[in-house]
Structure 1
């Protein structure tokens, strides 16, 4: 049997017998000479393995009359960038060194923080992907040190202290993170991607599946069932796998180990299963293909990071809201419409790692009172939403959002607009933020802006909306009883950029175009962050941050 793996001008010839290789090389030499091709023997190598003695044999081979390099058990030949030999060599040593150098240069550059993260994602992390899929990169020696440096630098780009949760570094932009990924996790992901691609390959699929069965058979010392093949990859340790037999390290042992890491360490929803007469990989409960595998696995990584972050009582409470609306995190990708000061503030505030008395978790910190008003707990929520010392800034933040909404409305000639005033003809002294009354078409729209703190879950927004509906229920009922097409709703934006998707109902009612609404949402989030940052800095420094 002769097997040939070819890619561009690289050939890998595999035979079962050393003499067969002599014959094949002779034929290859004759054909190449006839075609006018010349092999560089210094770049060619041979490896002969004695499987019975588990060692190599020093047999020399020639190509076109020139002697090839003969590999022994400790030598490696770099084939397609991957060290190949009797033992698996460490791949990407030079690449890792270059990645460290590039990361240092990016960190010390004058790029904006979001540009640094984008540079890492675009130019550095892709360098290692090939080696993680096809080679062997030592995690402890190469990947973990790089991940530690990247995490340290990324936290500094987000102006986060060392005790801040690292998950925010690895969340995608639309969830409020920098969109980075740990290379040790990426290594496991790429192993599974490589396995799925081989199993679904038209040419190599059947052979790959047979090699998998052979690997399982060596593990359990008998022919495996279909379900046992899946159990092997899922790193099952009971039943047929309860008795320990040492594995010969191969591709499938690496896939098995990678699956275990992703499930047990990274808490991913990943599982191998046997269905439709073939082995399949389930990610987030869905079967993946070779085209969707990498995307789905990375999505599962992001989902696991978010679950881990939001489970944290303090640092995850804001992300329970902001991570679910991409508009709340639009600035993570390009920093548009916000100030550098806002960037330095927002990540610390969302993670609750700002230097406030109520956020200091040191055991010797006993006084949690507000330094301005004496309230019992000086928290981010108190400073941004409730502290009397910043009532004016809080009002200006509210008005900034309201003004965006009011200025976006194009009024028909028959419609009268009332902003923060009592609606004529109504009882009481209530003044909704915005009221549009059209007596000709008998149409009334009432909207009230509110900015509750993003605290743990969307129930905060629902409660704020319910309170506004209760507050203006009498006005709603009056116009409704008079036969008007009446609309009443709250418009909610959190002080840290949390966006309530129910706001879209208001935008549709006000007939604001979809195109401008997309821009206006970002501007409103930017306004909320700007005024929240100014209120916070004024609270800490006692220096006014805006013109009254």
Structure 2
């Protein structure tokens, strides 16, 4: 037997430490030089692209790793930043970078279901005929029944059938099986004989929206993986409730590069605090007590919301959010009363309590009692609890105002988290103040930015004290 070097290709694989490499050294066969494939090239053999990917390496995985490395450098992310942070949607607090492997799976699955349900009879007949051929050859049956075909596509163990390797039947339908399993999808056949896809309890019957449906499910899976983390899930859950909480990820002019980098580290729980440094360092922390107050555990909620030596700066963050709300009051407002951080005289006279809500607005028909709160995002329940606590605190004050003014009294809590989470109930507050819908959106964005910058100032003040103590 004699080889023809012109028809041959060489792909030499090796490892340098733990890193895979492709050897480009010259190779000769039967006196002729054989072309050596590099990492990015391939050779089409019997209709199949042969190259680095077919040898067990995924080019998509390699490119995705390069993209994540560049993004880490741009956002100053440490290497231990979790992968769902890069691929979760922007509305969830992630960077929204598509995962190339998931993108390839989505397009392949979308192509398969559109072919078997094509409106062109010839395309549909060829696709279903090829699918039946693959099922017959794989399961060694004479007829590909509908139930057996669905089990094949769903990557179910073909019990009772002598399944074998695909052999010469390898193609789109054999590649769809692992894709279906990776995406968590499920094939089924309708009464009309159409193949449909479902994920969980959701099903997409519109083929024109199938790709969008699959992309949405992939984003939800990334978000779920992120929220399942015990040290990041709670802080991720709150910002995903409203889009303005994550606007700084879409616009570079909202925060400075330093503020944006710090906010991402804070949300990912990657700041150098005593309570978490033991996870990333070999040496054990001798003490986890706050180095500034010396009374409580040094955690991010304590530093941003409860550390007494920096309480003045924490209060300034609250006042910054309140100022954004005050600036949104229309100049043409018909309010006859606008009390800012004043004792409610009606309540002091009737109940002998000197409560000071942040803002009281009154017109001819009603009175608005508004109080600002900046809780830490320890899950959605903690944000809701902070709102309900404010309502309970000023319930008697609202009752006193009703008796004194004979007007409708409404209590609102303007809740913006320390890490920029905007509570959905806040949307009704600017509208109740007479602010337009467009201006109310601007209020939400400015309030979130004020919370971002205020928390960053709190952190800088706390770190400056810590550095002074060490010196």
Give the structure-2-normalised TM-score.
0.82
SS in 2 for 1:496: coil
1:378 counterpart = 2:294: no
SS in 2 for 1:230: helix
Once residues 383 and 93 of structure 2 are traced to their aligned partners in structure 1, the CA distance between those partners, rounded to angstroms, is 19
Compute the displacement of 1:533 (Å): 1.1
Aligned pairs for 1:114-129 within 5 A: none
Q: Which of the numbers 309, 334, 358 marks the counterpart of 1:433?
A: 358
Aligned pairs for 1:156-167 within 5 A: 156-167=73-84
Aligned to 1:416: 337
Deviations 1:428-479, CA, capped at 9 Å, x for gaps: 21000000123xx242110000010001x21112111111111111111122
Q: Which of the numbers 397, 400, 406 marks the counterpart of 2:317?
A: 397
Whether contact under 8 Å (1:137, 1:143) holds in the other structure is no
Whether contact under 8 Å (2:234, 2:380) holds in the other structure is no
Aligned to 1:488: 411
Whether contact under 8 Å (2:419, 2:455) holds in the other structure is yes
Deviations 1:56-99, CA, capped at 9 Å, x for gaps: xxxxxxxxxxxxxxxxxx99xxxxx99755151148x8xxxxxx
Aligned to 2:386: 464
1:88 counterpart = 2:48: yes
Q: Does 395-404 or 358-367 show the bigger shift?
A: 358-367
Aligned to 2:179: 258
Deviations 1:394-416, CA, capped at 9 Å, x for gaps: 11111111111111112644521
Whether contact under 8 Å (1:165, 1:315) holds in the other structure is no
Structure 2 spans left out of the alignment, 5+ residues: 1-33, 36-40
Once residues 493 and 341 of structure 1 are traced to their aligned partners in structure 2, the CA distance between those partners, rounded to angstroms, is 21
Whether contact under 8 Å (1:357, 1:378) holds in the other structure is yes
SS in 2 for 1:281: strand
SS in 2 for 1:318: helix
RMSD across aligned positions (CA)? 2.4
Relative to 1, partners in 2 of residues 1:388 and 1:192: Cα closer, same or farther, differing over 3 Å?
same
Compute the displacement of 1:357 (Å): 0.8
Aligned to 1:333: 250
Relative to 1, partners in 2 of residues 1:274 and 1:506: Cα closer, same or farther, differing over 3 Å?
same
Count how many residue pairs are aligned between Structure 1 and Structure 2.
413
Aligned to 1:121: none
Whether contact under 8 Å (1:213, 1:229) holds in the other structure is yes
Compute the displacement of 1:238 (Å): 4.2
Once residues 375 and 146 of structure 1 are traced to their aligned partners in structure 2, the CA distance between those partners, rounded to angstroms, is 48
1:449 counterpart = 2:372: yes
1:511 counterpart = 2:430: no
Deviations 1:144-175, CA, capped at 9 Å, x for gaps: 22222222222232322112212111112121
Compute the displacement of 1:386 (Å): 0.7
SS in 2 for 1:140: coil
Relative to 1, partners in 2 of residues 1:476 and 1:213: Cα closer, same or farther, differing over 3 Å?
same
Aligned to 1:150: 67
Q: Which of the numbers 153, 168, 175 marks the counterpart of 2:92?
A: 175
Q: Which of the numbers 341, 348, 359 marks the counterpart of 2:265?
A: 348
Once residues 389 and 396 of structure 2 are traced to their aligned partners in structure 1, the CA distance between those partners, rounded to angstroms, is 13
Which protein has greater RCO, CA pairs closer than 8 Å, 6+ apart?
2
Once residues 324 and 140 of structure 1 are traced to their aligned partners in structure 2, the CA distance between those partners, rounded to angstroms, is 38
SS in 2 for 1:244: coil
Whether contact under 8 Å (1:144, 1:183) holds in the other structure is yes
Once residues 425 and 257 of structure 1 are traced to their aligned partners in structure 2, the CA distance between those partners, rounded to angstroms, is 70
Once residues 343 and 372 of structure 1 are traced to their aligned partners in structure 2, the CA distance between those partners, rounded to angstroms, is 25
1:218 counterpart = 2:137: yes
SS in 2 for 1:246: coil
SS in 2 for 1:272: strand
Aligned to 1:534: 457
Once residues 83 and 189 of structure 1 are traced to their aligned partners in structure 2, the CA distance between those partners, rounded to angstroms, is 25
Whether contact under 8 Å (1:196, 1:289) holds in the other structure is no
1:478 counterpart = 2:411: no
Aligned to 2:19: none
Deviations 1:286-329, CA, capped at 9 Å, x for gaps: 12543212211111111001111111110222001112321111
Once residues 152 and 499 of structure 1 are traced to their aligned partners in structure 2, the CA distance between those partners, rounded to angstroms, is 30
Once residues 55 and 245 of structure 2 are traced to their aligned partners in structure 1, the CA distance between those partners, rounded to angstroms, is 38
Deviations 1:184-222, CA, capped at 9 Å, x for gaps: 222222210211232232221232122212211222222
Whether contact under 8 Å (1:434, 1:447) holds in the other structure is yes
Once residues 186 and 252 of structure 1 are traced to their aligned partners in structure 2, the CA distance between those partners, rounded to angstroms, is 18
Structure 1 spans left out of the alignment, 5+ residues: 1-73, 76-80, 94-135, 264-269
Aligned to 2:30: none
Aligned to 2:197: 281
Once residues 365 and 504 of structure 1 are traced to their aligned partners in structure 2, the CA distance between those partners, rounded to angstroms, is 44
SS in 2 for 1:377: coil
Relative to 1, partners in 2 of residues 1:194 and 1:138: Cα closer, same or farther, differing over 3 Å?
farther
Whether contact under 8 Å (1:282, 1:288) holds in the other structure is no
1:324 counterpart = 2:241: yes
Relative to 1, partners in 2 of residues 1:137 and 1:196: Cα closer, same or farther, differing over 3 Å?
farther
